[in-house]
Chains A and B, each alone.
Chain A
């Protein structure tokens, strides 16, 4: 039955996340935005303990959110949207700095062996895909991995690795054989301190400043043979190769809605502060008339709310499909595209509406605007999402529509 309201259990989770974000993240958001490169954020420890304690019960989370007799589920993906949005509304940069919840953890959870999950599951694992010459075209990875006895030897350079400095380990994409294309790309778990792993620098950024974005160099970096994720075999038929890389890309179907949720959070946060300030000036939404019969500022707020609501529902839809085992590549791209650009639009407009107060570092609105920019870039840029949607809708291959 069509119902777009969240069930009580998801709402409870939302309340908890909101409380956590407003208690632990929001009060220190400005401090760490200014501090930028901290080795770690001690204030995040209690939050990390809470979250990691909870994810220990991940197996029961699917039923915790609820399941109906007809099999429809509201499970982990939907919970993720709701909690990520709340955490990002506290501070997106700090959210990405919470120890233990890295993208690498997601990869290990998705494809790791029981032994790998046991060994790395509780550690803080980063993910390194991007290279100086490889961004959206992640199939073009140049970093190599070669088997040498009981070790893999990695060579290459990675950039934009979130938690690459603070993480306990890094999941690294590398190719076993450049001539074999996508199918030869595998991922490897590299522990901090591995011989040949060097931290080159931590980036200075427009937003998400407290989150450590590392450049890493792998110089004959030796790691144990068992640290490969998935099979070391290279698929030998065209079909099998496609499938192998397709499997890798499929993880984006789960992660893109979660990144869209970050945009929901920063946009909501900017709007809420904007309402608070405007209320003092006597500006409130009447929810009456039409956008042509109310002041321009009110009309603009309705437009922002409408675009944000569309982004929210699209993200929930993509997550709901994932929770219910429906293929959602198109919907994941749609929600990321809509939420990504809406995050930029809403936060920047809030800065503009609030004038010098919005532009000022007195409030957090300008910070949310800076933070929002990257959300429309990482995990697939706006343009990549449009490309995916276009190819799906038009039924075109990546060769036909480049």
Chain B
């Protein structure tokens, strides 16, 4: 019961065990391929299949539909995002994206939709599924969508352009968020191969290893039953946006932790003027400030996630987490490069890659909702 619960930062036994598995996977399977995937702009064949063994998408799917039937836990998802992003931000984002689709269906889908789509996602394979919310323009905010959904008899017709669709064309299911006029923003499940849908690869300064696409919808017809939720019950866009922002923030925490863990041995070993550069306050204080701000970021994300998990309103907490994480992640990213000097600018070291990925934290909307 809220109010009786004590303030507590102790992970549950389950979370501790999962944490070990995630960290091991992040180190041995993600970090090891991160650089090459960034240069190749592609994941190695079979990687996502291997990632499916983590079972992330399966967790919240009810047992009736072939899932693990675990209770929805934004906190556990946040911890997983942190741990996976310690390996690589972009790859962790791709791994967690189908889970975002699943979580949104568990939270807001009708029984019929859950049966149909969650059943398909409860697989040992990696089933790509994603959310298309962003649109390609400056100062995009989720509250103002230019993609339109028009009711026609028993169907909706979707028109518009979506951007930063993670997993893009490979996605079996895309949850497209569109402005449905008087009905407000609504979300529609669009299946792979639907007529009128086309994808084009988008190139960004970061997120190189994974598929990020622009999705064009031209008179795409979907049945009213593809609209998320039941009957007149309004789609809760805010919830999706907040949970996806928390995902991006948690990924940022993991990557910033990677920055800290990388610069500490570097500045302790790098010698200038006869001693390690870490012996200089100008350098040491930069490292201290990474540690200080990183801990603050983590606690804001945890608080918002724990409120979500307890069924409390968490919009303001998620909003503040986003504000802090977007700003501090950039600061930590750029200081990670700075601490390595010219070496940090080269692709010999991962800090420049992490910096490019961290730029996405304040921009991403809709993906990987925890």
The answer, yes or no, to whether B292 is at the interface (CB within 8 Å) is: yes
B: interface residue count bin: 35 or more
Q: Is the interface of B mostly helix, strand, loop or mixed?
A: helix
A401 touches B307 (CB 8 A): no
Contact residues of B between 103 and 141, Cβ < 8 Å to A:
139, 141
CA distance A70 to B316 in the complex (A): 31
Whole-angstrom CA separation of A334 from B298 in the bound complex: 13
Contacts of B268 in A (CB 8 A): 394-396
Interface string of A221-237 (1 = CB under 8 A from B): 00000000000000000
| Cβ-defined contact, B10 with A72, below 8 A | yes
A263 to chain B, nearest CB (A): 14
Closest to B320 in A: A306
**Inter-subunit contact A313/B299 (CB<8 Å):** yes
Q: Check if B7 sits within 8 Å of A74, measured CB to CB.
A: yes
Determine if B8 and A314 form an interchain contact, defined as CB atoms under 8 angstroms apart. Answer: no
Q: Given A11-B3, A287-B316, A306-B323, is A4 in contact with B299 using a C-beta cutoff of 8 Å?
A: yes
B296 adjacent to A311 (CB under 8 Å) = yes
- Within the complex, which residue of A3, A306, A338 is in contact with B292, where a contact is CB–CB below 8 Å? A338
In the complex, B259 has a CB within 8 A of chain A: no
* Residue B281 interfacial (CB < 8 Å): yes
Q: How far is the CA of A331 from the CA of B288 in the complex (A)?
A: 12
Partner of B296, one of A5, A66, A338: A338
Contact of A2 among B4, B75, B260, B320 (CB under 8 A): B75
Whether B6 contacts A290 by the Cβ 8 Å rule is no
- Is B32 in contact with chain A by the CB < 8 A criterion? no
Would A3 and B285 count as touching, CB distance under 8 A?
Answer: no
Chain A 220-257 near chain B by CB (<8 Å), digits 1 or 0: 00000000000000000000000000000000000000
Contact yes or no, B323 A393, CB < 8 A: no
> B256-295, CB under 8 A of A: which get 1 and which 0?
0000100010011000000010110100110111011101
Set of chain B residues within 8 Å of A68, measured between Cβ atoms: 6, 8
A394 and B5 contacting across the interface, CB-CB below 8 Å:
no
The stretch of A24-32, A101-109, A382-390 in contact with B is A382-390
Q: Is the CB of B319 within 8 A of A2?
A: no
What residue in chain A is nearest B294 (Cβ atoms)? A334
A3 B299 Cβ-Cβ under 8 A:
no
Is A85 on the interface with B (CB-CB < 8 A)?
no
A191 at the interface (CB under 8 A from B): no
Enumerate chain A residues within 8 angstroms of B4, measured Cβ to Cβ.
Answer: 7-8
Give the residues in chain B near A394, CB-CB below 8 Å. Answer: 264, 267-268, 278, 284, 287
Q: Is the CB of B319 within 8 A of A287?
A: yes
Q: Which of A70, A307, A394 has the most CB of B within 10 A?
A: A394
How many interface residues does chain A have, given as a range? 35 or more
B 310-354 binary contact with A (CB < 8 Å = 1; else 0): 101001110111111011000000000000000000000000000
Nearest CB in chain A to that of B10: its residue: A72
Cross-chain contact B316 with A393 (CB below 8 angstroms): no
Beta-carbon contact of A389 and B291 below 8 Å: yes
Tell me the smallest distance from the CB of A72 to a CB of chain B, in Å: 5
Q: Check if A303 is an interface residue, CB within 8 A of chain B.
A: yes
In the complex, the answer to whether A386 meets B285 with C-beta atoms within 8 Å is yes
Report the minimal beta-carbon distance from A169 to chain B, rounded to whole angstroms: 35
* B312 and A5 contact, CB distance less than 8 A: yes
Inter-chain contacts of A289 with B (CB < 8 A)? 141, 143
Contact, CB under 8 Å: B6 / A386? no
A393 closest partner in B (C-beta): B291
Q: Which residues of A contact B362 (CB under 8 A)?
A: 290
**Interface assignment of A320: CB less than 8 Å from any CB of chain B:** yes
**Which B residues touch A402, using CB under 8 A?**
279, 281
- A5 contacts across to B, CB distance below 8 A: 2-3, 5, 7, 303, 306-307, 310, 312
Q: How far is the CA of A302 from the CA of B12 in the complex (A)?
A: 32
Closest to B11 in A: A2
Q: Tell me, in angstroms, the Cα distance from A391 to B267 when the chains sit together.
A: 12
B178 contacts the other chain (CB 8 A) = no
Q: Say whether B302 faces chain A, with CB atoms less than 8 Å apart.
A: yes
- Determine which of B264, B278, B285, B295 lies in contact with A314 in the assembled complex, contact meaning CB atoms within 8 Å: B295
- A303–B300 CB distance below 8 A: no
B9 interface residue per 8 A CB criterion? yes
Chain A residue at minimal CB-CB distance from B315: A287
> Which among B3, B285, B295, B323 is the interface contact of A7 at CB below 8 angstroms?
B3
Q: Is B37 among interface residues, defined by CB-CB distance under 8 A?
A: no
Asked if A346 lies at the interface with its beta carbon under 8 angstroms from chain B, I say no
Q: Any chain A CB within 8 A of the CB of B51? A: no
Residue contact A10 to B264, C-beta cutoff 8 Å: no
Q: B297 at the A/B interface (Cβ < 8 Å)?
A: yes
The complex places the Cα of A3 from the Cα of B307 at a distance, in Å, of 8
Is B260 touching A393 in the complex (CB atoms < 8 A)? yes
Residues of B within 8 A of A391 (CB): 284
Once bound together, how far apart are the Cα atoms of A307 and B320, in whole Å? 9
Closest to B299 in A: A313
Q: How far apart sit A396 and B292, CA to CA, in the bound complex (Å)?
A: 17
Q: What separation, in Å, do the CA atoms of A334 and B276 have in the docked complex?
A: 24
Min CB distance B253 to A, Å, is 12
A386 to chain B, nearest CB (A): 4
Residues on B lying within 8 angstroms of A by beta carbon are 2-12, 15, 75, 139, 141, 143, 260, 264, 267-268, 276, 278-279, 281, 284-285, 287-289, 291-293, 295-297, 299-300, 302-303, 305-307, 310, 312, 315-317, 319-324, 326-327, 362
List 9 other contacts, CB 8 Å, given A3-B306, A338-B292.
A4-B299, A7-B7, A70-B10, A302-B319, A307-B296, A387-B281, A390-B278, A390-B287, A394-B267
Binding site for B on A (CB under 8 A): 1-8, 10-11, 66-68, 70, 72-74, 78, 287-293, 302-303, 305-307, 309-311, 313-314, 316-317, 320, 330-331, 334, 337-338, 383, 386-387, 389-391, 393-396, 400-402
5 contacts between A and B (CB under 8 A): A1-B10, A5-B312, A334-B291, A400-B276, A401-B279
